[in-house]
Amino acid sequence: MEERLLQGSESESSLYLRKKVWGEVRKMWRIALPSTMFKVTSFGSIVVAQSFIGHTSDVGLAAYALLQSTFIRFLYGLLGGMSSATETLCGQAYGAGQYHMMGIYLQRSWIVDAAITTLFLPFIILSAPILRLLGQNPELTYTIEEIYPWIIPYVYSLIFSMTMQMYLQAQMKNAIIGVISTLSLVLDIALTWWFVNKMGLGINGALLGLNISSWAMVIGELVYVFGGWCPFTWTGFSMASLVDLMPMLKLSVSSGFMICLEYWYFSILVLIAGYTKDAKIAISAFSICQYIYTWEFNICLGFMGAACVRVANELGKGDADAVRFSIKVILAVSALVGLICSVLCLAFCGQMSYLFSDSDEVAAAVSDLSAILATSILLNSIQPVLSGVAVGAGMQSIVAVVNLGTYYAVGIPVGLVLSYVFHLGVKGLWAGMLGGVAVQTFILCYVIYKTDWEMEVKKTNERLKVWVLKPSTEEESTERK
């Protein structure tokens, strides 16, 4: 009798655990899938431009890859990281039921992100002279001078698209994100094909398609937010958005620093490839590997967003046990996806290069790098989730310090030793940088494991009390309805 009762109890416990895991997986995919679609399609627009440019001009391909892999990628990562501050604050406000604050946080993020982008703009304008001073191929840098004016409207569109994506994601309005981003990518492919193949505009046509589609996404998101589909969280423009900008700036900059260090880490490979004997082939090959890596990395950033939102929501609700459970489930799913993508990379990496270039030499170079690329993909399926957990808890500054130390104090020095002392070339540099990622992942695992989540719940409540503003009478009545 006791054995039957024990077996029944174990069966019920197992059934409860399966239901709990399945429930968490559903919540995770509800956030991660649209977020992944947004990141993959928005980055896909950059890749579409490079793909059409690559079939138009080898010099144009290498020049665009060099500009995109250095300055554009740095700013893309910076803005992506800064927008994660919006995700942190909106997620915690939503979990705590302080819906009126979410629209105010969104407006503050627009102000802060626009200011930082404007400060960074001179680096894009002077990108060609800077790269020439660094010894890059003059033919490529003169082509960059023709390209950079098209990039300026694009980077300003990222201010709105990235922050609104985080704002909508935090309140579980994820389906609209996936729909708008997918439609913008379809529009981008159609317009770029027309401008390049039918109108013969070449590089300019590819970049024109990129700008139109990116701003079409922004307009779609603005229509949704302003059109009344977010009645509790968007109550119009408010002077309150001008209050507490410095704390918002501090959190945004630490978030941006955290992500852009990671984005630019592997861009160093492309920059160093520019010093090799056959720079055009080397840059093209490494940029293609970087695009494949970044596409998969953007999938993992979807899991990072899910981790951030789930942790922020549960901290806002005050449930530390739910935070721990969410972390375990999201880590397991992300690692499985990373393993699948790694295997696919080993099998089809060389063939994928023909999406970007018709050159057999470039395809051979990409195929030669497939093993180390697959390893990078597998290792980076875990790290973004850990970063997302830290972002959800508001620990961006800790991750930024860890990234700086492991990437630039460990990874690059080890890579340089392997490259120049052991004569392993760029592969050695890449291997050393992967070592930095491994150390970073281990440290973040330790930090998350040792985190006192009950204490983080208290910190979240204190932060929300300090930053919250009382809703107006009209907003209170709207929320009650």
Examine the pLDDT at 424 and tell me if it is beyond 80.
no
CA distances from 368 to 130, 134, 347, 348, 427 (A): 31, 27, 12, 12, 10
In a domain, 440, yes or no: yes
What is the DSSP-derived secondary structure letter of residue 234?
-
Higher pLDDT: 481 or 409? It is: 409
Mean of pLDDT over the chain? 80
Reply yes or no on whether the pLDDT at 333 is more than 80. Answer: yes
Which amino acid is present at 245?
A: L
Residue 315: both structure tokens together = 């901290």
Residues of the chain with pLDDT > 90, as a percent, come to 13
Higher local confidence (pLDDT), 58 or 364: 364
pLDDT at 406 over 80: yes
Q: Are 131 and 70 in contact (CB under 8 A)?
A: yes
Lowest mean pLDDT among 18-22, 156-160, 165-169, 290-294: 290-294
Q: Strand ranges (DSSP E) for 3-64? A: none
Give Dmax (Cα) for the chain.
84
Q: Determine how many CB atoms are found less than 10 A away from the CB of residue 221.
A: 23
pLDDT band at 12 (very low <50, low <70, confident <90, very high): low
Q: pLDDT tens digits, residue range 361-399?
A: 778 878 888 888 888 888 888 888 888 888 778 777 787
- Of 134 and 350, more confident: 134
Mean pLDDT of 111-132: 90
Residue 75: count of CB within 10 angstroms of its CB: 24
Query: pTM above the 0.75 mark?
Result: no
Domain assignment of residue 20, yes or no: no
Greater pLDDT, 156 or 298: 156
444-458 tens-digit pLDDT:
889 888 888 888 888
Q: Is the confidence at residue 250, as pLDDT, over 90?
A: no
Taking only the tens place, the pLDDT of each residue in 251-305 is 777 666 666 666 666 666 666 666 655 666 766 777 777 778 877 777 887 888 7
Q: Which residue has the higher pLDDT, 240 or 287?
A: 240
Domain span holding position 104:
30-475
Q: Which of residues 315 and 394 earns the better pLDDT score?
A: 315
Tokens (6 digits) for 34: 């649209």
**Locate tokens 């990108």: which residue?**
127
Q: Is residue 175 part of a domain?
A: yes
Q: How far apart are the first and last CA of the chain?
A: 54
Query: What letter does residue 204 receive in the DSSP assignment?
Result: H
Residues in the chain: 481
Q: How much is the pLDDT for 10?
A: 57
**Residue from 382, 477, 476 nearest 438 by CA:** 382
CA angle 243, 249, 250 (to 5 degrees): 120
> pLDDT, tens digit, for every residue of 427-481?
787 888 888 888 988 998 898 888 888 888 888 777 666 656 655 544 444 444 4
Does 218 map to a domain? Answer: yes
d(CA 17, CA 23): 10
The confidence band for 222, taking pLDDT boundaries of 50, 70 and 90, is: very high
> Which whole number is the average pLDDT over 66-82?
80
Residue with tokens 């994928």: 352
322 has pLDDT over 90: no
The pLDDT, as a whole number, for residue 479 is 43
- The count of domains in the chain is 1
What pLDDT score was predicted for residue 4? 56
Write down the pLDDT at residue 278.
Answer: 61
For residue range 172-203, list pLDDT tens digits in order.
787 788 788 889 989 999 999 999 888 888 88
Determine, yes or no, domain membership for 313. Answer: yes
Rg (Cα) of the chain, in Å, rounded? 23
Nearest-angstrom CA–CA distance, 192 and 186: 10
Decide if 11 is inside a domain: no
Mean pLDDT, residues 208-232 taken together: 92
Q: What pLDDT is attached to residue 310?
A: 86
Rounded Cα gap, residues 108 and 67, in angstroms: 30
Determine the pLDDT at residue 6: 47
> Looking at the domain assignment, is residue 229 inside a domain?
yes
Q: Let me know if residue 171 belongs to a domain.
A: yes
Instruction: Give the model confidence (pLDDT) of 391-400 as tens digits.
Output: 778 777 787 7
